[in-house]
A and B are shown apart, each in its own frame.
Chain A
Amino acid sequence: MQREGNGHREQYETREHDVLIIGAGGAGLRAAVAATERGLSVGIVSKSLLGKAHTVMAEGGIAASVGNVDPEDSWRQHFMDTLKSGKFLNNWQMAEIFAKEAPDRVYELEQWGALFNRTPEGKISQRPFGGHTYRRLCHVGDRTGLELIRTMQEKVLATEADIYMETTVTKLLKKEDRVVGAVGYTRESGKFIHFKAKAVIMATSGWGRIFKVTSNSWEGTGDGVVLGYDAGAEIVDMEMMQFHPTGMVWPPGVRGLLVTEGVRGEGGLLRNSEGARYMENYDKEKMELSTRDVVARANYTEVQEGRGSEHGGVYLDITHLGYEGIMKKLPTMYEQFKNLADIDISREPMEVFPTVHYTMGGIKVDPETCATNVPGLYAAGEVAGGLHGANRLGGNSLSDLLVFGRRAGEGAAAFVGESVHSADIEGDAVRTEIGRVLEPLEKGGEGESPYLMQQELQVAMMEHANLMRDGDSLKEGLGKILALKDRLPNVRVGGSRLFNPGWHTAQDIRYLIQISEIILRTALERKERRGAQWRLDFDGPDEELGRINFIVTKNGQGEAGIERREIPPMPEHLSSLFEEEKAKA
């Protein structure tokens, strides 16, 4: 029993906290602030260094109806825009809370030292974005995410929270039905830690790395959703992957790198190789500022029908702003193209193509507290599902992080306050897990490279679960992924436990395979065209499916069980908003 032997020899450290937060992006850090404010002991686990989380990549802004430039704006309009964009698959209760609380979270950032661009009246400036009725995105140039995460990071550093940088959680520990901690290891040393906690908050972001062309960093491997799923949590809307309409195309090394929607917000025009502003064929009213699903499909279609640019993209032109204007509004984009592609965007158009960007689905949570169906487990941010439905609006992500990060922190704190249970566990769960994690490193012999396996998976997902899907292809993709799943035990890595990315990738690949399988299965179930899910073998939206979320849970056999769950009808005060609007029009 080599495997048990590994685990039993292993020494590990034990750290105890009231609340353990996994993930140190905007949501995790906001949750930490909320929980420390209640006087609780908080531990934050971060796969990277503090302040490098994916939040830093958000560029365009944070959506909140503060009404500084368009005073007509209101939470109601923000709520309606969010639901329309999500094709009404959204959890409307989350959307209501979200739209109401977003302004306070923005003000709170300012209170903590964040600096936004100003209006002439000295208020926070707001810019237009796709699918938002009014100019709604509070921003600072095109580096709003950096401002957000740095502010939150500095806020958290001023608390007593312990931060475990470059530490990876591989398993949630349960006692009876409750989550009572986690097992992880520190990359620097390869040493294991048993985290005891009365509540655990998942804030681990998305899983864009299942695709080859993505704006996500190496971290976007969906650890949190699989850890939650393995612990019994319900996950929702997994078929909904957002393709951002504008990712870089050339040179090959930067394929998929994000080109902010702020470019279109500032008046950037999309043209095909014939010089036509083709968006008028797809959304005549909103044109370039249509929702992301629509613009992404338009860009894709133009290229597919032979009207693409030299390197197979479409042209995005912002030259009308001139050098001065670009340096004021979009300086990061200027530098990005200048440095990486030798393109001066003040003189020539960019080449862009859709890139995998965001995951609308995730762990299903209670809108008020962000609690999952597993006691002691909470989730917030991109890893949680429900708010965005079938398509997320640009700028809604940053406010999502803060609104629900805070609620998760408070929800978990309340749970800890009410509970008397200990976080001790019985048996060998920790050692068993350590043995499992060490396997690819210590089992020895010839095996498969996790890097190559990951590449194979990414290629399969590009081919079979891209932004245009059909049943046969999805089935074929599922076959490929299940074959990869069978090969998972063959993964081997070389080197020591000291900061070994190969070993780390060997853990990631399990998450990627599990998520890909769930995505393909739910995409097969949703037989319609709605938001980000676009089935070419079906004609349009299906009325009945429009009232259904697909909920996935791990069943008794360890397989993914899919449940069709009816979306409860909206209450009067919300549904009337849409009726009033219809009456006006």
Chain B
Amino acid sequence: MSEGNGKNPGNVTSMAHSPVPNEDLGKSGGTAKLKIFRGDAEGGQEVEYEVPLVEGMVVLDAVLAIQAEQAGDLAVRWNCKAAHCGSCSAEINGRPKLLCKTRVEEYDGEEIHVHPMRAFPVIKDLVSDVSWNYEVSKAIKPFQSSEQAPFTMYEEDVERLYEPKKCIECFMCQDVCHVLRTHHKHPEFAGPRFFVRNQWLEMHPMDEADRLADLKEDNGIGFCNITKCCTEVCPVDIKITDNSIIPLKERVASEFYDPAKWLMRKIRGNGSSRNGN
């Protein structure tokens, strides 16, 4: 086994572990200019910052560099820095983006304006209050099965559930949805994120709860006019409208808006017409 140089553990040739901060690593000599919203619920304005441009730099890198060296109290949320956790959602030039996944060089020549998500109350700088989303989540009937795990479930039956399960709860779909953003239907409308959750719950082979009435009433799925902005901004490429919302709208239509079924029910005089097939 090869042990390297016993005397000199600090002698590492990897840039990754280089003990010196190597400030110049990947620097091109250029700078990135960002106009960042500074303010709180009362209001605020854009402040311009300039940071040295580094190869492959994402907007979050620039924001954190500003935070460390120029504006220690600049508020921003972030965690994994790898687009897995959905914390660093904000708006760049008016579009919801994950700051950790958006490269500075994408905006070559354009100004970069960074703002907090606007469909929710602003707390400070790039941070807005997303707690409402957790209230909506709490009100959804959780997974429920009378079968005892381990389940026998086949890939063929669950393959379409992997897509909604990818959701990282960045809430950018909620931010861009005009029903919330423009029409402020927060109390009556659950928003795209929670149709995604409802979809896998409803389509799960083992789940037994019925959420269709909730979807129609409490979650207000009828407010959605399928204009697909949610799908456009999803950072993990969930086809929210086509694969979550519309399938649910169809199930709600079967349950509540299908005249033939409605008539059948009148004749038979029983409640739900829905079963597994």
Measured in the bound complex, the distance between the Cα atoms of B16 and A232 in whole Å is 37
Tell me whether B54 and A312 are in contact (CB under 8 A).
no
Q: A52-B87, A304-B11, A502-B73 are in contact. Are A257 and B82 (CB under 8 A)?
A: yes
CB-CB under 8 A from A217, the residues of chain B are 78-81, 85
Is the CB of A43 closer than 8 A to any CB of chain B? no
Check if B29 is an interface residue, CB within 8 A of chain A. Answer: no
Q: Enumerate A241-272 residues with CB–CB distance to B below 8 Å.
A: 247, 249-258
For the complex, what is the distance from the CA of A370 to the CA of B17, rounded to whole Å? 36
A303 to B13, alpha carbons, bound, how many Å?
A: 6
Q: Is the CB of B81 within 8 A of A499?
A: no
Give B85 Cβ to nearest chain A Cβ, in Å: 5
Q: Once the chains bind, are A251 and B54 in contact (CB under 8 Å)?
A: yes
| Interface flags, B1-12, vs A, CB<8A=1, else 0 | 111111101111
Q: How far is the CB of B263 from chain A (nearest CB, A)?
A: 36
Pick the contact of A154: B5, B11, B20, B137 (CB < 8 A).
Answer: B137
User: Does B85 lie within 8 Å of A111, measured CB to CB?
Assistant: no
Q: Which of B1-60 contact A (CB under 8 A)?
A: 1-7, 9-21, 25-26, 40, 54-58
Let me know if A449 and B55 touch, CB within 8 A.
Answer: no
CB distance B68 to A451 under 8 Å? yes
Q: Is the Cβ of B19 less than 8 Å from the Cβ of A115?
A: no
For residue A308, give the distance in angstroms from its CB to the closest CB of chain B.
Answer: 6
- Contact indicator B204/A113 (Cβ below 8 Å): yes
Does B109 have its Cβ within 8 Å of any Cβ on chain A?
no
Q: Are A466 and B17 in contact (CB under 8 A)?
A: yes
Do residues B165 and A115 form an inter-chain contact, with CB atoms below 8 A? yes
A340–B56 touching, CB < 8 Å = yes
Residues of the B chain whose Cβ atoms lie less than 8 Å from the Cβ of A499: 75, 123-125, 127
Complex Cα distance, B72 from A117, in Å, reads 44
Interface residue? B143 (CB, 8 A): yes
Q: With the chains together, A178 CA to B186 CA distance in Å?
A: 44
Segment among A118-126, A395-403, A508-516 that sits at the interface with chain B: A118-126
A312 close to B55 (CB less than 8 A) = no
> In whole Å, how far is B59's beta carbon from the nearest beta carbon of chain A?
10
Whether B150 lies near A303 (C-beta < 8 A) is no
A274: min CB distance to chain B, Å? 14
Return the contact of B61 from the options A147, A253, A353, A466 (Cβ within 8 A): A253
Q: Chain A interface: which of B151-159, B211-219, B249-257?
A: B151-159
Looking across the interface, which residue of chain B has its beta carbon closest to that of A142? B84
CB distance from A427 to the nearest CB of B (A): 32
Looking at the assembled complex, report how far the CB atom of A257 sits from the nearest CB atom of chain B, in whole angstroms.
5
Residues of A with C-beta under 8 A to B155: 117-118, 120, 122
Q: When chains A and B are docked, how far (Å) is the Cα of A494 from the Cα of B70?
A: 11
CB distance from A367 to the nearest CB of B (A): 26
Bound-state CA distance A50–B131 (Å) is 9
A355 close to B (CB within 8 Å): yes
Residue of B nearest to A460 (CB): B19
Given A217-B78, A459-B20, also A312-B72 (CB < 8 A): no
Q: Evaluate contact between A251 and B57: CB separation under 8 angstroms.
A: yes
| Chain A, range 460-503, C-beta contacts under 8 Å to B | 462-464, 466, 468-470, 473, 493-496, 498-503
Residue from the list B87, B134, B200, B236 in contact with A48, Cβ < 8 A: B87
Whether B149 pairs with A110 at a CB distance below 8 angstroms is yes
List chain B residues, Cβ under 8 A from A51: 85, 169
Stretch from A315-323, A331-339, A384-392, A414-422 at the B interface = A331-339
What residues on B are CB-neighbors of A50 within 8 Å?
Answer: 134
Task: Check B73 against A470 for contact (C-beta < 8 Å).
Answer: no
Point out the residues of chain A lying under 8 angstroms from B4, CB to CB: 300-301, 304-305, 468, 536
- A449 contact from B72, B81, B145, B154, Cβ within 8 A: B72
Give min CB distance, A113 to chain B, whole Å: 3
Interchain CB contact under 8 A, A355 and B12: no
- Complex CA–CA separation, A52 to B83 (angstroms): 11
Give bound CA distance, A335 to B100, whole Å: 13
A495 contact set on B, CB distance < 8 A: 72-73
Query: In the complex the two chains form, is B67's CB within 8 Å of A501's CB?
Result: yes
A120 to B156, CA, bound (A): 9
Expressed in whole angstroms, the Cα–Cα distance for A256 and B207 within the complex equals: 40
Please encode chain A, from 439 to 460, with 1 for each CB lying within 8 Å of some chain B CB and 0 for all others. Answer: 0000000000111100100010
Given A146-B168, A501-B72, A503-B73; A122-B207 close (CB under 8 Å): no
Q: Do B166 and A336 have beta carbons less than 8 Å apart?
A: no
CA distance A503 to B77 in the complex (A): 14
A500 touches B11 (CB 8 A): no
B6/A498 in contact, CB under 8 A:
no
Asked if A304 and B56 make an inter-chain contact with CB atoms under 8 angstroms apart, the answer reads no
CB distance from B49 to the nearest CB of A (A): 15
Q: Is the CB of B19 within 8 A of A112?
A: no
CB-based contact A56/B80 at 8 Å: yes
Contacts of B150 in A (CB 8 A): 66, 107, 110, 123-124
Q: Which chain B residues lie closer than 8 Å to A305 at the CB level?
A: 2, 4
B68, A312: Cβ atoms closer than 8 Å: no
Question: Per-residue CB proximity of A34-67 to B under 8 Å, as 1/0?
Answer: 0000000000000011111010110000000010
With A57-B84, A118-B154, A282-B1 in contact, do A157 and B123 touch (Cβ < 8 Å)? no
Nearest CB of B to A334, in Å:
12
Say whether B72 contacts A451, CB under 8 Å: yes
Within 8 A of B (CB), among A532-550: 536-537
Contacts A113-B201, A501-B73 hold; do A146 and B84 have CB atoms under 8 A apart? yes
Set A115, A251, A258, A536: member contacting B26, Cβ < 8 A = A251
Contact bitstring B94-109, A, C-beta under 8 A = 1, else 0: 0000000100000000
| Nearest CB of B to A519, in Å | 15
Interface assignment of A140: CB less than 8 Å from any CB of chain B: yes
For B119, the chain A residues whose CB sits under 8 A away are none
Chain A residues closer than 8 Å to B158, beta-carbon distance: 115, 118
Residue of B67, B68, B74 ringed by the most chain A CB atoms within 10 A: B68
Q: Are A56 and B68 in contact (CB under 8 A)?
A: no
> From residue 118 to 141 of chain A, which have CB atoms closer than 8 A to chain B?
118, 120-124, 140-141
Nearest chain B CB to A276 CB, angstrom units: 13
Asked whether, in the complex, the Cβ of B16 is within 8 Å of the Cβ of A254, the reply is: no
Q: Is B138 among interface residues, defined by CB-CB distance under 8 A? A: yes
Check B83–A498 contact: CB distance below 8 A.
no
**Listed residue (B1, B73, B74) with the most chain A CB atoms within 10 angstroms of its CB:** B73
Check A115–B81 contact: CB distance below 8 A. Answer: no
A311 at interface, CB cutoff 8 A: yes
Report how far A254 CA is from B26 CA in the complex, Å: 12
Q: Is B86 part of the contact surface with A, judged by Cβ < 8 Å?
A: yes
Does the CB pair B77–A49 fall under 8 Å?
A: yes
Cβ A336 vs Cβ B83 within 8 A: yes
Using A154-B143, A335-B236 as known contacts, list a sample of 14 further A-B pairs with CB atoms less than 8 Å apart, ordered by residue number in A.
A122-B151, A147-B165, A154-B142, A251-B56, A252-B54, A254-B82, A300-B17, A304-B5, A332-B84, A340-B58, A451-B69, A459-B19, A498-B124, A502-B67
Which 9 residue pairs of A and B lie closest in terms of their CB atoms, listed nearest first? A251-B56, A495-B73, A113-B143, A502-B72, A312-B14, A463-B19, A111-B149, A451-B68, A110-B149
A-B contacts, 9 of them at CB < 8 A, read A110-B149, A110-B150, A123-B150, A165-B134, A217-B81, A254-B82, A312-B14, A500-B75, A501-B76
Partner-A contacts on B (CB < 8 A):
1-7, 9-21, 25-26, 40, 54-58, 61, 67-69, 72-87, 101, 123-125, 127, 129-131, 134, 137-138, 142-143, 145, 148-155, 158, 161-162, 165-169, 197, 200-201, 204, 207, 236
Chain A contact residues, CB within 8 Å of chain B: 48-52, 54, 56-57, 66, 107-108, 110-113, 115, 117-118, 120-124, 140-141, 143, 146-147, 150, 154-155, 157-158, 163, 165, 188, 212-213, 217-219, 247, 249-258, 281-282, 300-301, 303-306, 308, 311-313, 332, 335-336, 339-342, 353-355, 449-452, 455, 459, 462-464, 466, 468-470, 473, 493-496, 498-503, 505, 536-537
